[in-house]
A and B are shown apart, each in its own frame.
Chain A
Amino acid sequence: MKSLAELQAIRDKARAQVGLRAESGASVRVQVGMATCGIAAGARPVLNAFVEEVAKRGLQDIMVTQTGCIGICQYEPVVEVIEGEKKTTYVKMTAEKAVRVVNDHLVNGNVVTEYTIGSNAQ
Chain B
Amino acid sequence: MRELALNVMDVAQNSISAGASLITLTVEEDLAADRLTITLEDNGCGMTEEQVRSVIDPFYTTRTTRKVGLGVPLFKMEAEMTGGSFSIRSQKGKGTVLSAVFVPSHVDMIPLGDISGTVRLLVTCNPTLDFVFRRTRDGREFTMDTRELRQILGEDVPLNDPEVSEWIAGYLEEQTALLKEEM
Interface residues of A (CB under 8 A from B): 1-2, 4, 6-8, 10-11, 13-15, 18, 34-36, 39-40, 44, 47-48, 51, 54-55, 58-59, 63-66, 68-71
Q: What residues of chain B lie closer than 8 Å to A35, measured between beta carbons?
A: 10, 13, 71
| B62-105 interface with A by 8 A CB criterion | 63, 65-66, 69-71, 74
| B171 contacts partner chain A, Cβ-Cβ < 8 Å | yes
- Residues A44 and B152 in contact, CB atoms below 8 Å apart: no
Query: Mostly helix, strand, loop or mixed at chain B's interface?
Result: helix
Q: How far is the CA of A70 from the CA of B117 in the complex (A)?
A: 24
- Cα separation A70 to B162 with both chains bound (whole Å): 26
A68-B13, A71-B65 as given contacts; A7 in contact with B174, CB under 8 Å: no
Of chain A, the residue at the smallest CB distance from B66 is A71
B153 located at the interface, meaning its Cβ lies under 8 Å from any Cβ of chain A in the complex: yes
Q: CA separation between A63 and B13, bound complex, in Å?
A: 18
Chain B residues packing against A (C-beta within 8 Å): 1, 6, 9-10, 13, 17, 63, 65-66, 69-71, 74, 117-118, 120-121, 124-126, 148-149, 152-154, 156-157, 160-167, 170-171, 174
How far is B161's CA from A59's CA once the two chains are assembled, in angstroms?
Answer: 10
24 pairs across A/B with beta carbons < 8 Å?
A: A2-B170, A4-B148, A6-B167, A7-B149, A8-B152, A10-B164, A10-B167, A14-B161, A18-B156, A34-B13, A36-B10, A36-B70, A39-B10, A44-B9, A44-B117, A48-B117, A48-B121, A51-B121, A51-B165, A58-B162, A59-B162, A63-B160, A66-B125, A68-B17
How far, in angstroms, from A69 to B1 measured CA to CA in the complex? 16
